Structure 1
Amino acid sequence: MASNLTIGQRIAWYRRRRGLSQEVLAGLVGRTTDWLSKVENDRISLDRLSVIKSIANALDVSLGDLLAEPSLFEWSDDRGSHSIPALRAALTDYRQLSPMAVRIGQEEPPSSAGLASEIAEVWKAYQSSLYTKVVERLPVLLAEAHHAERFSHGDARHAALGVLGQVYHAAASILTKVGEADLAWIAAERGLAYAQESRSQVVTVSLLRSVTHALLANGRYDAAIQLTSDAAALLDDDLPKATPDLLSVYGTLFLAGSMAAARAEDRATTRAFLAEAQESATRLGTDANHAWTAFGPTNVAIHRVATAIELGDIQVAIDIGPKLDTSALPIERRVRHALAVAHALSLWNRTDEALATLLDAEKMAPEQVRYHYLGRQLVLSWIRRQKGKPSFQLTDLARRLRIV
């Protein structure tokens, strides 16, 4: 399906493929036929993933099928024409899974310290929203980390396993960002297995958070909520003496859980998870980036805005979001918040402000705006709402996002 369809148009396409009338599908999701007709004709914007997920369930398709296809990465002379398919091949390479696949005469594996330095560079690129750079580096780094783990013993092997878990975490994170939900799940699940073997509590909790995000991307909100609660329970005894790293990954675990609860329309759990994250942020005392989490009071506030939008509390998002100073956080966090603010402003029919917000975000991180489904859907909805010719700014943005 073409990537220039709105969510409403996708719903209409899948509904017709299922042979369902508007009346039948509307009944399956507890809505009126008039409401569904307006959704399919872009007269109503679907602002909550919980509603989109209910329609996906009724149509028996994945959440990603309605949000959009994964975006294609740009080719360039220096990077070549290998991107997500290369990462997919690395993740599904049977040789990474079998101890019998050790090559005779293979060169000495890289040290754990060297690999840790490389994964740090990948996380820096990710937090700078340099997605193409992340995707380019990960397949090679994945092979190197597996090679190091196979030839290590004792404490060195535990260190190598920890790095391997982090590489899979980075893979799951970038795959989630670009809409490859199924691949993200594979990476997160596999990374968690290696993290647990590493005996590193911080790496393990980081991968539990990664699994939570993968569950979110696949629309499995109840499972993500349960995982958050179960994972937190494992850390109860260690929290009083938690290091900044552990405190940060613990806090971000609850932030991910709060998004799952909001998408499941569970207000009580959303509040409880945000309160738990806030307590960790208060203990930490400041915005920081321990264990590449960008965790602190501001990130908690960002999630208050994001969960408010998911729960339909747009006024709350409007009151908090535009005023929030995110300048101390990594670009990825700042731009994701800007996308949420643009979304809220758009829902409040303040389209000019929403467009200005999105354009500012694009200046900071063009790749992140281009590859996130929300940026594309906002621009598509604005173009289709225009009664006359769209503005040059809007048309030019649509061209850059490859949707016209």
Structure 2
Amino acid sequence: MTTNLTIGERVAWYRRRRGMSQEVLAGLVGRTVDWLSKAENNRLELDRLSVIKSLADALDVSLGDLLAEPTLMDWTPESGNRTVPALRSALMNYRQLTPLLGVPTEGEPTPLAELQTSVTDVLDAYQASRYGFATRRLPLVLADALIAAQSYEGVDRERANALLAMTYQSAAMVLGKVGEVDLAWIAADRGLGAAQQSGDTAVTGSLFRSVAFCLLSTGRFDAAVQLVGDAADYLRPGLTDASPEFLSIYGTLFLSGSMAAARSDDRSTVREFLAEADQAARQLGQDANHMWTAFGPTNVAIHRVATAAELGDMQIAVELGPQIDTSSLPTERRTRHNIEVARALSAHNRVDDALAMILEAESWAPEQVRSHYLARELVLSWVRNYRGRPSPAMTGLADRLHVV
């Protein structure tokens, strides 16, 4: 309903619905009435999630309510006309959750090599920002993985549970990208349970990361920081003879934690977590994509920019962001970095440069750009605040993002 409103306009909309004056809301979030008035009238950008979360809490709404999430997933040739609702049905199919009800397994289990290929296809699609394809495939892959985990025995059952965990992780990541945070939490939680049944520490660490992402998406920043600390304590003994996969999972966990700490305005923890991630990246020695982490020195550099922006240090983000060469990284990482740099450029009134960054990202990953709240918010605010007639490039982008 509020897709065509900026975040500031949504704040005003919910404030009026609550019968709350600007004076009261400003007091609840520790700001001045002048600040709130500017935010509601698009004269001040609400581009930090820590600030948006404080407003959501004061208004007793979810973070997603102010971000206009979830977004409607467009039908494409890859998605067909069964998208998130079909995946929701698969996640909420109680018949597949437990053997206690005596529901017989339907069909023969898929060979594990074939299941591995299917899981790989979905995770590759996620990193290529092909959310429609991933969403269409996931219900079938999830059903196959559940049957396999219930049917195989011994070592094969452990491997099946590892594949089931990674299937749930892929569902959590895709659902998180389109703003379906409650469904993403269900998927991540179940994935962590399956990971523990696999006996694979790296897979378990990977699912800890998914849970941390879900906590971030729902605005539970302090809880995400705590989870990363606890998970790191659990994983740390494995560093002695760590494989590249384990190092990548360990380092990426701290990158997630650095974003959570930044959104909690905890600068010291941001520095600590980035230092841990940097050490793991140095030990790994190069950029890689073990277990779909895209982890390495470049990803650490990307997070230095992202955390600086979350902390309000836009000058640092403007100086560092454009210098990072992301060409070797998966599409999802490259696109997310472009959006982050665009935010920093926009904060410095370099709208044309910021627009160029978003257009480049859209050329790589149109589904990701359309589903990211920050891209939508930037473009909508540019159109609203533009003096004169916006350029055809800007209005065309706004139309494709469905924000005007």
TM-score, length of structure 1 as denominator length: 0.98
Per-residue CA deviation, residues 41-90 of structure 1 (Å, 9 max, x unaligned), is 11100121111111111111111111112222222466431101111111
Q: Which amino acid aligns with 2:42?
A: D
1:169-180 map, 5 Å: 169-180=169-180
* Residue 31 to residue 243, structure 1, CA distance change in 2 (3 Å): same
- For residue 278 of structure 2, what is the aligned residue in structure 1? 278
- For residue 259 of structure 1, what is the aligned residue in structure 2? 259
Shift of 1:102: 6.5
The separation in 2 between residues aligned to 1:67 and 1:141, in whole angstroms, is 30
The separation in 1 between residues aligned to 2:186 and 2:91, in whole angstroms, is 8
Per-residue CA deviation, residues 211-264 of structure 1 (Å, 9 max, x unaligned), is 000000000011100111111111222212100000000000000000000000
1:285-364 map, 5 Å: 285-364=285-364
Per-residue CA deviation, residues 2-43 of structure 1 (Å, 9 max, x unaligned), is 311110011011111111000000000000111101101111
- For residue 93 of structure 1, what is the aligned residue in structure 2? 93
CA contact (8 A) 2:317 2:341 kept: yes
After superposing the two structures, state which structure 1 stretch, 106-115 or 53-62, moved more: 106-115
Per-residue CA deviation, residues 328-351 of structure 1 (Å, 9 max, x unaligned), is 100110000000000110011100
The separation in 2 between residues aligned to 1:169 and 1:200, in whole angstroms, is 15
Per-residue CA deviation, residues 108-167 of structure 1 (Å, 9 max, x unaligned), is 110222111111111111111111101110011111110111111111111111100000
- For residue 115 of structure 1, what is the aligned residue in structure 2? 115
- For residue 191 of structure 2, what is the aligned residue in structure 1? 191
The separation in 2 between residues aligned to 1:88 and 1:312, in whole angstroms, is 36
What SS does the corresponding residue of 1:269 show, helix, strand or coil? helix
- For residue 164 of structure 1, what is the aligned residue in structure 2? 164
The separation in 2 between residues aligned to 1:235 and 1:107, in whole angstroms, is 37
Q: Which runs of 5+ in 1 are unaligned?
A: none
* Residue 379 to residue 109, structure 1, CA distance change in 2 (3 Å): same
* Residue 147 to residue 42, structure 1, CA distance change in 2 (3 Å): same
- For residue 391 of structure 1, what is the aligned residue in structure 2? 391
The separation in 2 between residues aligned to 1:382 and 1:105, in whole angstroms, is 54
1:14-29 map, 5 Å: 14-29=14-29
- For residue 126 of structure 2, what is the aligned residue in structure 1? 126
The separation in 2 between residues aligned to 1:400 and 1:49, in whole angstroms, is 24
What SS does the corresponding residue of 2:115 show, helix, strand or coil? helix
The separation in 1 between residues aligned to 2:102 and 2:361, in whole angstroms, is 45
Over the matched positions of the two proteins, sequence identity in percent amounts to: 60
What SS does the corresponding residue of 1:235 show, helix, strand or coil? helix
What SS does the corresponding residue of 1:232 show, helix, strand or coil? helix
Q: Which amino acid aligns with 1:80?
A: G
CA contact (8 A) 2:176 2:217 kept: yes
Residue 401 (1) aligns with residue 384 (2): no
- For residue 146 of structure 2, what is the aligned residue in structure 1? 146
- For residue 230 of structure 2, what is the aligned residue in structure 1? 230
What SS does the corresponding residue of 1:403 show, helix, strand or coil? coil
* Residue 102 to residue 122, structure 1, CA distance change in 2 (3 Å): farther
Q: Pairwise CA RMSD of aligned residues?
A: 1.2
The separation in 1 between residues aligned to 2:317 and 2:105, in whole angstroms, is 59
* Residue 20 to residue 107, structure 1, CA distance change in 2 (3 Å): same
- For residue 365 of structure 1, what is the aligned residue in structure 2? 365
Per-residue CA deviation, residues 350-380 of structure 1 (Å, 9 max, x unaligned), is 0010001111111111111111111111100
CA contact (8 A) 2:75 2:132 kept: no
Residue 247 (1) aligns with residue 230 (2): no
Q: Which amino acid aligns with 2:212?
A: T
What SS does the corresponding residue of 2:240 show, helix, strand or coil? helix
1:55-70 map, 5 Å: 55-70=55-70
Shift of 1:323: 1.1
The separation in 1 between residues aligned to 2:48 and 2:403, in whole angstroms, is 22
Q: Which amino acid aligns with 2:17?
A: R
CA contact (8 A) 2:95 2:103 kept: no
After superposing the two structures, state which structure 1 stretch, 171-180 or 386-395, moved more: 386-395
Shift of 1:103: 5.8
What SS does the corresponding residue of 1:241 show, helix, strand or coil? coil
The separation in 2 between residues aligned to 1:67 and 1:2, in whole angstroms, is 9
* Residue 279 to residue 390, structure 1, CA distance change in 2 (3 Å): same
Q: Which amino acid aligns with 2:222?
A: D
What SS does the corresponding residue of 1:86 show, helix, strand or coil? helix
Per-residue CA deviation, residues 240-290 of structure 1 (Å, 9 max, x unaligned), is 210000000000000000000000000000000000000000000000001
Q: Which amino acid aligns with 1:157?
A: R
What SS does the corresponding residue of 1:288 show, helix, strand or coil? coil
The separation in 1 between residues aligned to 2:323 and 2:231, in whole angstroms, is 33
The separation in 2 between residues aligned to 1:306 and 1:140, in whole angstroms, is 35
Residue 381 (1) aligns with residue 392 (2): no
The separation in 2 between residues aligned to 1:204 and 1:396, in whole angstroms, is 43
Q: Work out the number of aligned pairs and report it.
A: 404
After superposing the two structures, state which structure 1 stretch, 97-106 or 206-215, moved more: 97-106
Q: Which amino acid aligns with 1:144?
A: D
Shift of 1:105: 8.1
The separation in 2 between residues aligned to 1:7 and 1:157, in whole angstroms, is 47
